[in-house]
Structure 1
């Protein structure tokens, strides 16, 4: 963990922790760096791609396209091109929270469910893929399940806030009450004054690392590079 808010306390439901190199042994950590391999295995698959900065933006939309079309349009190229897109030169495309491994069992063979996911009282209820260029972002939100975010390709940065900070996070109205109204990296303190003394934890994930996020913890996630992550939710 890179930083923790002063006097921060852990939550009764658990504490986030980075598990260094937990999934470094996955074949995916090596294989998925090769765009030609991904194209061969999943290039023809049709997937839902999110277009726009984040899912709370007015201009946000979704579009169905093949993985090959998605990679050609949004992922291939260097991070300078990703920066241009993120600054308004073109839409940012993100394959986010998609059950790609149910759609493509061949790709599922490159990953392995971590034993860590057996520590709850139930079973894994969702395994999702998160794939996109640099600067793809999920705004601060909570999930109802235990969450193990496994970083396969690239680097992601996560800022986390305990459930006790919820009043300072200014949740949106239903049905998006699990998402904050605050841009947590550039908060408008005139509009959200309680956020001024919010406490947080920062984490950076590199290929092979995993981050455990307990239920109810707010987390904002942003890719620093082209990134492919896998998340496991369990009860």
Structure 2
């Protein structure tokens, strides 16, 4: 993988055939006409949610105070990175700003309201990331449960490093968490300790505001923030990776049958308890 292409938004069918099925990372411009792309900013979060509390490094922090710190972040003195925050849980009023669903992100079985919440990822499929220069998700990793991930830069640019699954032996997966690499910062890899990394073929790409990077399941990636940044990540699963998702989530066959049964009753608008006598 020598480079990651940048394309304009395309149909769901074309994306499925050209990028999703062959698992090809790509950057999509203007993925959807989201209000978030024109209305979200650090100032918006400070004005509307100054008193909202968020979890950061194991503590609760005032959103307004955090935004002030982000604006003062530097490469030499970075502030902590707010990452993987479930948007629907902490900022539910902003979910409508990410509508309509981008065609490239459909179908997304994780977003189907017939699927029990516990089958989602991290209590939701849409996560918020905010940080300043010097921050980022430096550790090389691939997203858990074999989900595909779409990361959209709302404000600020971010540099991504992508490594293909074929290079997995060269990035030293952890034994306890195989989707996490022992390489904690790609800008400072100790080649004496991790000599195989020299054989890896990382690809770098800068994602600008309004652009979305598609990271297929199993692809290693890390990021570094260039300018004060707001981003959202949306996880997806469908027929292409659903089996891997269920297997990684360790659902037994009986559990899957129960989940499907509940979904059928929900779709029919019938109480499972009422229907029980007729299901023998």
Which category describes the TM-score, using the shorter chain as reference length? 0.7 to 0.9
How many correspondences in the alignment?
206
Q: Is 2:207 aligned against 1:205? A: yes
Which stretches in structure 2 are left out of the alignment for 5+ residues?
5-18, 112-119, 238-280
Matches within 5 A, 1:150-161: 150-161=152-163
The Cα of 1:22 is off from its aligned counterpart by 1.8
Larger radius of gyration: 2
Q: Is 2:49 aligned against 1:42? A: yes
Q: Could you tell me the TM-score, scaled by structure 2's length?
A: 0.67
Q: Counterpart in 2 of 1:55? A: none
Q: Counterpart in 1 of 2:265? A: none
Q: Counterpart in 2 of 1:105? A: 92
Give, in whole Å, the separation in 1 of the partners of 2:98 and 2:21: 31
Give, in whole Å, the separation in 2 of the partners of 1:200 and 1:171: 15
Task: Point out the structure with the larger helix share.
Answer: 2
Q: Counterpart in 1 of 2:65? A: 69
Q: Secondary structure at the match of 2:64?
A: helix
In structure 2, the CA distance between the partners of 1:117 and 1:14, relative to structure 1 (3 Å rule), is: same
Cα displacement string for residues 47-106 of structure 1 (whole angstroms, at most 9, x for unaligned residues): 1113xxxxxxxxxxx32112112112x2134xxx422313xxxxx222110012332222
The Cα of 1:212 is off from its aligned counterpart by 0.5
Which stretches in structure 1 are left out of the alignment for 5+ residues?
5-9, 51-61, 87-91
| Preserved CA contact (<8 Å) 2:45 2:67 | no
Give, in whole Å, the separation in 2 of the partners of 1:45 and 1:197: 46
Q: Secondary structure at the match of 1:106?
A: helix
In structure 2, the CA distance between the partners of 1:111 and 1:189, relative to structure 1 (3 Å rule), is: same
Higher relative contact order (CA 8 A, sep 6+): 1
Task: Point out the structure with the larger strand share.
Answer: 1
